[in-house]
Amino acid sequence: MLPVKKRAPYQAFRVAAWGLLPLAALGAGTLHGEQTEAAVAATVKRLEARYRGAKSFRAAFLERRSEGTRSMQAEAGTLYLQRPGMMRWEYEAPEKKLFLVDGKFAWFYVPADRTVTKAPVRESADEQIPLLLLTGKTKLTRVCRRLELADVHVEAADRTALRCLPARNAAGEYREALIEVDAVGHLVRLLVREPGDVETEFQFGAWQDNPVLPPSLFHFSPPQGTAIVDERTLLGDQGRE
């Protein structure tokens, strides 16, 4: 497990920013029965259609993380997605970092440490990590054993928040995830609550659908002199290139 300060996006392969608008109540409590089921189904359909309907995406992100009573840490940067199954998180503030999934491996690079961690992408992870929904590699109904409207505040009246209870094979990884979707199906907020009173929140904005992304964005070559830690070897081979 990477230290909190150095962790990659949610599970690191296992999970200046924009300000919050005045919060508006979702009012999930006013819907019952068939209305609630229809609202959940419509939101899931809108979200999945958005991320299956394009080949690539770009967005700004803000990530916040807290552990119990410890103060929240915030990081910001740019996210690039390419179907199927590739993503690039460029952390720009307060420290430059890179988390990249090239389809076969996940790379987490911290230039200041001159260290990169390499881990294989496992197919089983598709059902465990809500963020993989964005790459078109999974469906929300596979990630969540149960979906319901979340009675929480959202940033705008045309947004909907869902509560995802994890699939049984991922129940030990996180307790629940709150997923906020805007009127056109873009993911605008994801809050993941993990065991041990740990919360990781992502906010997304400035989404671009189908931007032209060069293949080099999803290829990582460790710079000369970088220490490579391969998680497959545990305490084994660690070398420098």
For 179-197, write each residue's pLDDT tens digit.
999 999 999 999 988 888 8
Q: Could you give phi then psi for residue 113, rounded to 5 degrees?
A: -90, -10
Q: What is the pLDDT of residue 196?
A: 83
Q: What is the pLDDT of residue 7?
A: 52
Top-confidence range, 20-24, 101-105, 134-138, 169-173: 101-105
Q: What is the pLDDT of residue 32?
A: 52
Answer yes or no: is pLDDT of 28 > 60.
Answer: no
Which residue, among 149, 66, 117, has the nearest Cα to 234 in the 3D structure? 117
The burial class, CB within 10 Å (0-12 / 13-18 / 19+), for 216 is: exposed
Question: What is the share, in percent, of the chain residues with pLDDT greater than 70?
Answer: 73
Answer yes or no: is pLDDT of 104 > 70.
Answer: yes
* 23 or 216, higher pLDDT: 216
Helix H or strand E segment including 119:
strand 115-120
Q: What is the pLDDT of residue 17?
A: 23
CATH architecture of 24-240: Clam (2.50)
> Does the predicted TM-score (pTM) go above 0.85?
no
- 144-149 and 153-154 as β-strands: parallel, antiparallel, unpaired? unpaired
Average pLDDT, the chain: 77
Please give the Cα distance from 229 to 72 (Å, whole number): 28
- Stretch 67-95: mean pLDDT: 88
Which residue, among 91, 93, 88, 73, has the nearest Cα to 16 in the 3D structure? 93
Confidence of residue 74 (pLDDT cuts 50, 70, 90): very high
At 207-221, the pLDDT tens digits run 999 999 999 999 999
